C-alpha cells in the first residue's frame, strides 16, 4: 500500500513528492540514539498495534521496503520474496510522475543505516543538538563519505538534511547551530517548533531565525 500511496501523492502533487523513510521503531538501550524502554514513544507504538524491533531488523526491513518501492514504481508486474515481505503479481498503476520514482530521503545514523543511505538515498536526514552533538554529526558525515567511497558513489549526490529544535529563549543559539551545520555540509535545515508555539509563529521564525535584524 505504501508504494501505491506514494505513487498517488506524486501524481496529485505534480511530481513533487519526496519519500521520507526510516527504520521506524527500534528498541535500543538509553544513549544509543533510538527509543529506550522508558521513552513515551514506546507507548505510542503500542497504541497503534506496532511492535518495536531490534535495530538490525529495522534496517533489514527498511532495505526490503526500498526494494519493493522501486520495483512497484518501475515494473509492470512485480514479484518480491524477502525475509519479511512478499508480493505476488503486484500491479501499481499509474506509475509516479518522477522516474524512476520519487527521491528517497532516509533518516538515521547507525553504521548499518549509513551504509544503506550511501547505497540508496537521494538525501540523508539526522537530528541535531541536543539529540546529537556536533562531534557525533561530524563523525556521521565522515562515515557517510567513507561508505560512498566504498561503493564508488559520489557523496555529493546525497543531500544532507538536519532536523533542529528551535529555542524560543535563545534564538541566537539556534542560528549558531544552523551556521555550523551549513559549514559541515548540510544543505537542508528542518526547523522544528516545540509547543506552545509563539504568537505569529511563522513571522517569529522569519524574524528571529531566518532573517534576524541583529
> Which helix (H) or strand (E) segment is 2 a member of?
helix 2-12
pLDDT in tens, the chain (214 residues): 789 999 999 999 999 999 999 987 666 555 555 545 555 566 777 788 877 888 889 999 999 999 999 999 999 999 999 999 999 999 999 999 999 999 999 999 999 999 999 999 999 999 999 999 999 999 999 999 999 999 999 999 999 999 999 999 999 999 999 999 999 999 999 999 999 999 999 999 999 999 886 5
**Containing structural domain, residue 113:** 104-214
If asked whether residues 80 and 124 sit together in one domain, one would say: no
If asked whether residues 97 and 114 sit together in one domain, one would say: no
Please tell me the chain's helix, strand, coil percentages from 3-state DSSP, rounded to the nearest 5. Answer: 45, 15, 40
> Which helix (H) or strand (E) segment is 160 a member of?
strand 159-165
- Choosing from 52, 87, 102, the residue where a domain stops is 102
Q: Which three cell numbers stand for residue 22?
A: 526510516
- Choosing from 102, 133, 152, the residue where a domain stops is 102
If asked whether residues 76 and 129 sit together in one domain, one would say: no
Domain count, the chain: 2
pTM listed for this prediction: 0.88
82 burial via Cβ count (<10 Å: 0-12, 13-18, 19+): middle
- Choosing from 87, 102, 117, the residue where a domain stops is 102
Amino acid at each position: 500500500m505504501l508504494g501505491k500511496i506514494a505513487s498517488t501523492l506524486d501524481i496529485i502533487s505534480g511530481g513533487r513528492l519526496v519519500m521520507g523513510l526510516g527504520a521506524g521503531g527500534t528498541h535500543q538501550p538509553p544513549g544509543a540514539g533510538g527509543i529506550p524502554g522508558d521513552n513515551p514513544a514506546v507507548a505510542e507504538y503500542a497504541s497503534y498495534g506496532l511492535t518495536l524491533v531490534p535495530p538490525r531488523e529495522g534496517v533489514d526491513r527498511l532495505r526490503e521496503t526500498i526494494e519493493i518501492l522501486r520495483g512497484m514504481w518501475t515494473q509492470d508486474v512485480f514479484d518480491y520474496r524477502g525475509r519479511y515481505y512478499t508480493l505476488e503479481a503486484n500491479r501499481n498503476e499509474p506509475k509516479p510522475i518522477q522516474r524512476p520514482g520519487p527521491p528517497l530521503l532516509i533518516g538515521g545514523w547507525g553504521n548499518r543505516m549509513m551504509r544503506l543511505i550511501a547505497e540508496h538515498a537521494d538525501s540523508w536526514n539526522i537530528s541535531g543538538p541536543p539529540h546529537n552533538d556536533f562531534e557525533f554529526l561530524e563523525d556521521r558525515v565522515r562515515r557517510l563519505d567513507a561508505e560512498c567511497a566504498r561503493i564508488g558513489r559520489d557523496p555529493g549526490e546525497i543531500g544532507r538534511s538536519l532536523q533542529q529544535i528551535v529555542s524560543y529563549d535563545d534564538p541566537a543559539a539556534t542560528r549558531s547551530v544552523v551556521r555550523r551545520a551549513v559549514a559541515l555540509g548540510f544543505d537542508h535545515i528542518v526547523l522544528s517548533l516545540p509547543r506552545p508555539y509563539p504568537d505569529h509563529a511563522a513571522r517569529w521564525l522569519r524574524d528571529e531565525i531566518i532573517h534576524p535584524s541583529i
